[in-house]
Amino acid sequence: MNALKRPNIRDLSLDELQNYFAEIGEKKFRTKQVYEWLWQKHAGSFDAMTNISKDLRLKLAEHFSLPALTINTTQYSADGTVKSRFKTFDDHFVEGVLIPTEDRKTACVSSQIGCSLSCKFCATGKMERERNLTFDEIYDQVALINEQSERIYNKHLSNIVFMGMGEPLLNYNNVLRAIEKISAEDGLGMSQRRITVSTAGVAKMIKKLGDDNVRFKLALSLHAANDRKRNEIMPINETNNIKALIDALNYFYRATKNEVTFEYILFRNFNDSQKDAEELVKIYRQVPADLVNIIEYNPIDGASFAKPDEETIEKFMKFLESNRVNARLRRSRGKDIDAACGQLANKDNF
């Protein structure tokens, strides 16, 4: 059977895999062995499952595919950040980042190959959206970055952020299924409270997160605090304006009791004035938000934005703090390898 036509073995539940082994006359314990290889030992092929017989491995390969993500290339930043380009079974590329700090090891993962939202400040937004990543491809990114963290820093991942390539809420089912597996005891066993999904703002899907009563954290990439400016840099705002997003975030909070985070990149002479800060404070007061992350702008090819000077950034931060906004300035990591916020673009200069 053609490899692409064989069913993906990781689409099977534990019960379904057990039924398959019963049908072919294999002992029940084989189910647990193979399931562990698929999800906890992160086997990239059936051949890697060394504690099962060669005959059974061949049989599995005849009946199923195992389209695991592989690391194509890796770059190491002077600040310890590690960027990986992953290759999919159908020869697409997607990027993920390991961001180490003193007390955290964070994986920044992608949800789509490319992106359809065309945000003006983001390198991924200049790419075509090729397709959604499957739930197991998302899982693979986390597992592979966790292996890097253990190898380089001798520490497991502590946090995961869906802030890489693509819009997670436009790949809703795969993202939620991946998170479910990442947090499962027979998966990576990570707490959903340490997972943050970041969205450019799809109001309908934010409400669906509330309906599904998710346990992970939600971040909104705001980046401008009025509709005119937000329309200019984020075309999605034309159909998901700030009022609709405030309504959706409040709906989400009422359903989940999860506070949200705002992400706000500062652009010189665009959204960095006191008036912009005043508008940001107004939005903050309308939503149960626990934090506003003020982010340094990271230059990308073909964009005319620039980072404000330090004095302007400090003034902006002080205004927020004087108005009792819990704001944090997030200094960019991995800029020297294009691994910082907004820079992921599958460049050929790996």
Distances (CA, A) of 65 to 30, 70, 186, 284, 345: 18, 15, 21, 48, 29
Contacts of 337 (CB under 8 A, 6+ apart): 75, 76, 77, 81, 83
Reported as half-sphere exposure (CB side, CA atoms, 13 A), residue 44 has a value of 11
Q: Quote the pLDDT of residue 1.
A: 47
Enumerate the β-bridge partners of residue 198: 219
Q: Are 98 and 148 in contact (CB under 8 A)?
A: yes
Instruction: Give dist(CA 24, CA 63) in Å, integer.
Output: 11
Q: Quote the pLDDT of residue 245.
A: 98
- What the block records as the tokens of 94 is 């997607």
Enumerate the β-bridge partners of residue 264: 294
Mean pLDDT by 10 residues, the chain (350 residues): 77 96 94 96 95 95 96 93 96 95 95 90 81 98 97 96 96 98 96 97 98 98 97 96 98 96 96 98 97 89 85 98 96 66 57
- Catalytic position from the list 26, 95, 167, 263: 95
Instruction: Give dist(CA 288, CA 298) in Å, integer.
Output: 28
Enumerate the β-bridge partners of residue 159: 106
Helices marked H in 124-241: 135-153, 172-183, 203-211, 227-233
- The residue whose two tokens read 């193979």 is 34
- The residue whose two tokens read 């009563």 is 213
Instruction: Give dist(CA 241, CA 311) in Å, integer.
Output: 31
- The residue whose two tokens read 């491995």 is 57
Q: Quote the pLDDT of residue 343.
A: 57
- What the block records as the tokens of 8 is 């993906």
- What the block records as the tokens of 269 is 């002479």
Residue 119 bears catalytic tag: no
Using alpha carbons only, what angle is made at residue 151 by residues 147 and 153, rounded to the nearest 5 degrees? Answer: 110
- Catalytic position from the list 108, 119, 122, 341: 341
Write the DSSP string, 227-256: HHHHHHH-GGGGTS-HHHHHHHHHHHHHHH
Looking at the whole model, is its pTM more than 0.95? no
Residue 115 bears catalytic tag: no
Longest dimension (CA), the chain: 72
Instruction: Give dist(CA 204, CA 90) in Å, integer.
Output: 31
Domains and CATH numbers, the chain: 3-63 (1.10.150.530), 70-337 (3.20.20.70)
How buried is residue 72: exposed, middle or buried, by Cβ count under 10 Å (0-12/13-18/19+)? middle
Instruction: Give dist(CA 157, CA 148) in Å, integer.
Output: 9
Q: Are 220 and 264 in contact (CB under 8 A)?
A: no
For strand 327-330 and strand 289-295, is the pairing parallel, antiparallel, or unpaired?
parallel
